[in-house]
Structure 1
Amino acid sequence: MLRYILLASLMGAKGLCYAQLRWTNVDSLFQPLPKSVHVYKTTEQLDGKPNIAYYISADLADKDLVFTVDTTLQRRLTPSQFFEKNGQPLLVVNCTFFSFETNQSLNTVIKDGKLIAHNKSVAGKGKDTLQYHHTLNSVLGISKKRKADIAWVYSDSNSRYALASQFPFRSFKSGNFQLSQSLLGPFLNDTAYNFHQSKLQKWKMKTAVGGGPVLLQNGDVQITNNEERKFSGRAIEDKHPRTAIGYTADQKLILLVVQGRSTGLAEGATLTQEAVMLKDLGCVEAMNLDGGGSSCLLINGKETITPSEKGQQRPVPAVFMIEKKKVAE
């Protein structure tokens, strides 16, 4: 079974460059799989460069699937270690950005409706050494009714629920290390500073993982890198291994990984290329997750792409998982 998509990526002044990607169904390599889950692979060149990528499609409506997460406390595990720790789930994939110093996730994570990791502010550099950049980072959540949503989220350890906006907000600076609701309030009310008036609403998700930036909004490529302050300068056009998550209009969850940093074999993708790939796979909303040496997707414990750090999986503090619902004995 082959699936064809047309990849169009913006190449600055050079205009549009098109490359035909051919996706091959590789379910047989990762059995046993539920009927609602499918795996695809491509080795077609990406804008003339060698490329290896996989994506998995999972039906959010399938009640035999459990969409969940796992985290560690002040330590990190490889995806394979998470696989064994959680009773060998169907899927394990890296998700949040994290601190190498503290081993903590820098993005929101929600498990069983509870906030277990929070967005962290970014320390300034140079003239801004004594300042912190505060952002509403993007998060993909799945509700109890199995509906997916991507929003820009405020979360802290003093709140039971995350607060979310359906619009991105520009980041702002202050001398406070931690973004608080009292600090956030005046900023959100400054209509001259923000393009959208949007009150933050309680975001009651059963499962959620953060990363960023957002890649797709309403089915269009709209990368909110500047608002989320994820990559500086033109770094969104650098090629790296990538991990991304999104969903389609008919509520199919899409997880994409792109192999990279392997000259002549798989050189990776830019954020723009990643966004267009997800758009052409039918996603209406999608977001980038931690990439580079962290990118790793396991299906039934088997690797898809080869990790870029000499083929070794990088330990991470959090993973997104899909489990098959356990049948009561």
Structure 2
Amino acid sequence: MKKLLSNLLILATSAVVYSCSKSETGDYHPKQIIQPVDSTAITALSSDWMKAVHLMKDFPTGVQVYLNKKPINNKTTVMYAVVFDPKLIELKPVASSTNKKVSDFYNEEISKKFACINAGFFGPNASYSLSMFNGTVSAINIKSLTRKYNGNDATYYPTRAAFGLKTDNTADVTWVYHVGSGNGTIYSYPAPSPNILNSAPQALPSATFPAGGTIWDATTAIGGSPMLIKNNNINISDDAELIVIDNNSSRARSAIGYTANKKVIMLAVEGNNTSGGTGLTLAELAQVMKDMGCVGAINLDGGGSTALYVNGAHTVKPSDAAGERPVITALILKSK
């Protein structure tokens, strides 16, 4: 009996005891020493995704963190994913008037929060991507771009990818445009406006162009580019969205998508780390999201902007030698 009680005590201890230590890259992706026992996975993932319980202290039901270090195409890989149920956990897109670090977005959120990832594209103190929370738009997708056509400057009007949640917490990915002046009305299109470099610009998007447009019924949304997965198919529409972001190079990446069982996945991929993750191409990123079960997904800003802050701790090491790059928009996971 004494031996049985001793064994039970060891099992109970291993189920709850964990420890973190700084890795050789500093305070990024801390190493878990003991694998604790935790609740059933929110969504089914391959065995390569290990539950990072060392980052989940005091997390409620409905949000979990995973780590994957399996090489992809012979490249060293470090990827963190936060999986959550939007019926239980709130996604809060935020925009700032000035560039700030993802960890600062996280720390400034006054409600109970769990994670924060960088979001859309931006310039100095200006967002180029949609940010909307509970129907209030704080930033819009860029409405026009100047590109060369026949040797002259020409104005193009890209419809770019966006991820949204509706009032019933179901997710959607689509191509959007803000029709009208100012913030306009957000229209959703079943396919992007067929722009392509070195060809004449397409018409200004409207209620009738591209075909099939409807007023988007998302109430919380974040813009990015390009689309990665649409209708359960990999569909990287970088050409039509006029987005060139080292698409075929290995670099840090960020993405958000949703699964068939209505769960949401935020992914951060480490890049440009000689002692860690090499990074992924857009095609590899799309495949990772597809393999995780995403039926819809979009790319977010990557490279030096990629940052995921979970439960007060860094995860992927930033590509920039200086550390976290200040960004304009972010996604915060918080209590409802």
Scaled by the length of structure 2, the TM-score of the pair is 0.79
- Is 2:192 the partner of 1:171? no
Contact 2:55 2:310 in 1 (8 A): no
User: What SS class does the counterpart of residue 72 from structure 1 fall into?
Assistant: strand
- Is 2:82 the partner of 1:56? yes
Mapped to 2, the partners of 1:23 and 1:265 lie a distance apart of 17
Question: Which protein has the larger Cα radius of gyration, Structure 1 or Structure 2?
Answer: 2
Contact 2:256 2:298 in 1 (8 A): yes
Mapped to 2, the partners of 1:276 and 1:185 lie a distance apart of 32
Using the TM superposition, give the Cα deviation of residue 311 of structure 1 relative to its aligned residue in structure 2, in angstroms: 5.8
Contact 1:57 1:254 in 2 (8 A): yes
- Is 2:48 the partner of 1:22? yes
User: What SS class does the counterpart of residue 55 from structure 2 fall into?
Assistant: helix
1:1-329 correspondence runs (5 A): 5=46, 22-62=48-88, 65-73=89-97, 75-87=98-110, 89-100=113-124, 103-120=125-142, 121-125=144-148, 127=150, 129-155=152-178, 158-159=182-183, 161-171=185-195, 183-185=204-206, 188=209, 197-198=211-212, 200-231=213-244, 235-310=246-321, 312-325=323-336
- What one-letter code is carried by the residue in structure 2 that aligns with 1:130? D
String of CA shifts for 1:13-44, please: whole Å, max 9, x gaps: xxxxxxxx811111233312122111110112
Query: Alpha carbons of 1:201 and 1:159: their partners in 2 closer, same or farther (altered >3 Å)?
Result: farther
Query: Alpha carbons of 1:59 and 1:307: their partners in 2 closer, same or farther (altered >3 Å)?
Result: same
User: What SS class does the counterpart of residue 325 from structure 2 fall into?
Assistant: coil
User: What SS class does the counterpart of residue 154 from structure 1 fall into?
Assistant: strand
Using the TM superposition, give the Cα deviation of residue 129 of structure 1 relative to its aligned residue in structure 2, in angstroms: 4.6
Query: Alpha carbons of 1:113 and 1:127: their partners in 2 closer, same or farther (altered >3 Å)?
Result: same
Mapped to 2, the partners of 1:259 and 1:293 lie a distance apart of 10
Q: Which residue in 1 is equivalent to 2:22?
A: none
Mapped to 2, the partners of 1:205 and 1:217 lie a distance apart of 16
User: After the TM superposition, which segments of 4 or more aligned residues of structure 1 sit over 6 Å from their partners?
Assistant: 1-4
Using the TM superposition, give the Cα deviation of residue 282 of structure 1 relative to its aligned residue in structure 2, in angstroms: 0.4
Contact 2:113 2:311 in 1 (8 A): yes
Using the TM superposition, give the Cα deviation of residue 47 of structure 1 relative to its aligned residue in structure 2, in angstroms: 1.1
Contact 1:212 1:230 in 2 (8 A): yes
Cα RMSD, aligned residues only: 2.6
Mapped to 2, the partners of 1:254 and 1:186 lie a distance apart of 31
Q: Which runs of 5+ in 2 are unaligned?
A: 1-36
Contact 1:114 1:161 in 2 (8 A): no
Contact 1:257 1:295 in 2 (8 A): yes
Query: Alpha carbons of 1:187 and 1:142: their partners in 2 closer, same or farther (altered >3 Å)?
Result: closer
Mapped to 2, the partners of 1:186 and 1:114 lie a distance apart of 21
Mapped to 2, the partners of 1:133 and 1:113 lie a distance apart of 27
**Identity of counterpart residues, as a percentage?**
28
Using the TM superposition, give the Cα deviation of residue 126 of structure 1 relative to its aligned residue in structure 2, in angstroms: 7.4
Contact 1:135 1:172 in 2 (8 A): no
User: Alignment length, in residue pairs?
Assistant: 290
Q: Which residue in 2 is equivalent to 1:193?
A: none
Contact 1:115 1:162 in 2 (8 A): no
Q: Which runs of 5+ in 1 are unaligned?
A: 6-20, 174-178, 190-196
Using the TM superposition, give the Cα deviation of residue 296 of structure 1 relative to its aligned residue in structure 2, in angstroms: 0.5
User: What SS class does the counterpart of residue 39 from structure 1 fall into?
Assistant: strand
Using the TM superposition, give the Cα deviation of residue 159 of structure 1 relative to its aligned residue in structure 2, in angstroms: 4.7
Mapped to 2, the partners of 1:209 and 1:128 lie a distance apart of 34
User: What SS class does the counterpart of residue 122 from structure 2 fall into?
Assistant: coil
Contact 2:113 2:333 in 1 (8 A): yes
Query: Alpha carbons of 1:186 and 1:144: their partners in 2 closer, same or farther (altered >3 Å)?
Result: closer
